[in-house]
Structure 1
Amino acid sequence: MLTELGGKGGCLCEPAKSGTLRCPLIVRPTSEDVITGHLFGTLQAINPRWWLPDFLNHALGVERFRRQVFRKLRIVLWQKQPKFPRWLIPWDEGQTEVDVVITWENPPTTVFVEMKYGSPLSANTTHNNGHAGYPADQLIRNARIGLYQCGCYQEAKLFEFLPRDFSLILLSPKTGNPLVERYRDLGKFRESIPHNGRLATLPRTPFIGEMNYLVLLNILDSNQRFMTKTEQRLTDQLNDYIQFKLDQLISKQSDN
């Protein structure tokens, strides 16, 4: 953030800025990882009571989550998920790395957040270009993997456990992604999942949603009066950074 906002981290050479030199220290303007790390690194330091329920409720469009003490709350970035079972899909699939995984235990809940900044959702994923007759985009892949990890598939297990609640949120500069609307329709969602008859249960609906960065900033701003001075300062800094990144994105799009 210091490098991007004010050059406080030092200067980068011109070849690195232009992209002709692959510099490992460069903060690339289009990097989704940079904005993901700063955004959720800051949110981890703010009491989740003041952002997490509102974030999920706004993204899903329903009042599903309440303000509470989130027991055993964890926010993990870029978490690799176990490979999806081969017997549930007609293609070989590698590991999936989820941008943000949020979990807590009262009740047992898992949230996947797919982050987008300067690029759209991928229409195809590794080893799957839709050749098997099912959608191959990032959103349906993350949904399918999340449901499996949360115990929604029927299979023989050594130890049984109750399914976890699950939500999948697309966080991007703009809302209105057609894939989100498509997969919120349970009929279309099931049609997009191989062996959907193995889905013994589904989370409370809707469990797929989306939000843009400005709405998240508004949530933080509306709850700022309840925060500590430190949290308020962090919120102000985050607001400055996200606004800077959105302006940067608009400028880049206008240049193109």
Structure 2
Amino acid sequence: MVLTELGGKGGCLCEPARKGELRCPLIVRPTSEDVVTGHLFGVLKALNSRWWLPDLLNQALGEERFRRQVFRNLRIELWEKQRRYPRHHLEWKEGQTEVDVVITWENPKTTVFIEMKYGSQLSATTIHNNGSTGFPSDQLIRNARVGLRENGWFQEDVLFYGERRDFVLILLTPMTGNPLVQKYRDASQLKDAIPDSERLSDLPKLPFIGELGYRDVVSILKQQRRWFSKPERTLIDDLERYLQLKITQLGKANGHGH
């Protein structure tokens, strides 16, 4: 499936997808974020995570926080639905949040949410929150709020608390520079944007919110190229061509994809 668009076959469906038995990113238009997400992380899943995952996270956060290691019980899941956020802690209705990419491992316990963008901006509002409540409802703060709760950073109204996990949130777009990333990297501005933020017992090590551009991903893989096997290098080369194609197709007018 990966790179079919380079061969002029973008948009073709396999039989299970045609029957609705499989969620395939090719079921939508080739310019869709789902297609890019499927291509990019289909390749990354096939590569040895030791040589790209810590580099990707450190680049996004601007700090050398994650060490090179074997990631125990590594999982990379696409379009994963999270628990519905408690209604009594919000001033508006909110459905389940679907995170584009969720990466987890257990040494130490860590969860990474990735919000993917291609050719569209971060949603500034939701159906039930247009900002009139006094709290923003953009996709980035929603993912941050949901991720903090899912990973044990809120004091919950339950008898037993879940185990706390380190948490990182990354915005991955064709080009970097989204002002919301810098805004929410500041702890006080982050808390001001979350209803009932006094329930936050603590925060992950700051900064835990960062961003990457498509070219950053390519650059990281090229820098680490010598450590990958020959088949992995072929995948990397194809991915580089694919992402460059997508950036070119997007054009300068909408290059940030915010």
- What TM-score, normalized to structure 1? 0.89
What percent identity do the matched residue pairs reach? 63
Task: Spell out, residue by residue over 1:39-77, the C-alpha distance to the aligned partner (whole angstroms, 9 max, x if none).
Answer: 001100101111100000000011110000100100000
3-state SS of paired residue (2:233): helix
Matched, 1:163 2:164: yes
- 1:15 corresponding residue in structure 2: none
Contact 2:78–2:99, Cα closer than 8 Å, also in 1: yes
Shift of 1:95: 0.6
- 1:198 corresponding residue in structure 2: 199
Contact 1:101–1:111, Cα closer than 8 Å, also in 2: yes
- Which one-letter code corresponds to 1:221 in the other structure? K
- 2:66 corresponding residue in structure 1: 65
In structure 2, the CA distance between the partners of 1:246 and 1:56, relative to structure 1 (3 Å rule), is same
In structure 2, the CA distance between the partners of 1:84 and 1:7, relative to structure 1 (3 Å rule), is same
3-state SS of paired residue (2:143): helix
Q: 1:43, 1:61 → 2: CA distance?
A: 21
Q: 1:69, 1:223 → 2: CA distance?
A: 16
Contact 1:60–1:210, Cα closer than 8 Å, also in 2: yes
Runs of 5+ unmatched residues, structure 2? 14-24
Task: Spell out, residue by residue over 1:176-198, the C-alpha distance to the aligned partner (whole angstroms, 9 max, x if none).
Answer: 10100110111111110100100
Q: 1:67, 1:253 → 2: CA distance?
A: 35
Contact 2:3–2:39, Cα closer than 8 Å, also in 1: no
Contact 2:113–2:169, Cα closer than 8 Å, also in 1: yes
- 1:17 corresponding residue in structure 2: none
3-state SS of paired residue (2:144): helix
- Which one-letter code corresponds to 1:31 in the other structure? S
In structure 2, the CA distance between the partners of 1:25 and 1:64, relative to structure 1 (3 Å rule), is closer
Shift of 1:159: 3.0
- Which one-letter code corresponds to 1:71 in the other structure? R
Q: 2:60, 2:224 → 1: CA distance?
A: 17
Contact 1:125–1:137, Cα closer than 8 Å, also in 2: yes
Q: 1:132, 1:45 → 2: CA distance?
A: 44
- 1:211 corresponding residue in structure 2: 212
Q: 2:36, 2:226 → 1: CA distance?
A: 25
3-state SS of paired residue (1:34): helix
- 1:189 corresponding residue in structure 2: 190
Q: 1:159, 1:166 → 2: CA distance?
A: 20
In structure 2, the CA distance between the partners of 1:10 and 1:110, relative to structure 1 (3 Å rule), is closer
3-state SS of paired residue (1:62): coil
- 2:33 corresponding residue in structure 1: 32
- 1:99 corresponding residue in structure 2: 100
Contact 1:60–1:206, Cα closer than 8 Å, also in 2: yes
Matched, 1:131 2:93: no
> How do residues 226-237 of structure 1 correspond to structure 2 at under 5 angstroms?
226-237=227-238
- Which one-letter code corresponds to 1:73 in the other structure? L
Shift of 1:4: 2.1
3-state SS of paired residue (1:135): coil
Shift of 1:252: 7.7
- Which one-letter code corresponds to 1:236 in the other structure? D
Task: Spell out, residue by residue over 1:93-148, the C-alpha distance to the aligned partner (whole angstroms, 9 max, x if none).
Answer: 10111000000011110000000010110101232111211011000000000000
- Which one-letter code corresponds to 1:176 in the other structure? G
- Which one-letter code corresponds to 2:84 in the other structure? K
Contact 1:4–1:27, Cα closer than 8 Å, also in 2: no
- What TM-score, normalized to structure 2? 0.89
- Which one-letter code corresponds to 2:43 in the other structure? T
Please say which structure displays the higher CA radius of gyration. 1
- 1:115 corresponding residue in structure 2: 116
Q: 1:51, 1:61 → 2: CA distance?
A: 15
Contact 1:169–1:211, Cα closer than 8 Å, also in 2: yes
In structure 2, the CA distance between the partners of 1:101 and 1:126, relative to structure 1 (3 Å rule), is farther
Contact 1:94–1:126, Cα closer than 8 Å, also in 2: no
Q: 2:7, 2:152 → 1: CA distance?
A: 46
Contact 2:3–2:239, Cα closer than 8 Å, also in 1: no
3-state SS of paired residue (2:251): helix
Q: 2:12, 2:163 → 1: CA distance?
A: 53
Q: 2:127, 2:28 → 1: CA distance?
A: 26
Runs of 5+ unmatched residues, structure 1? 13-23
Contact 2:76–2:102, Cα closer than 8 Å, also in 1: yes
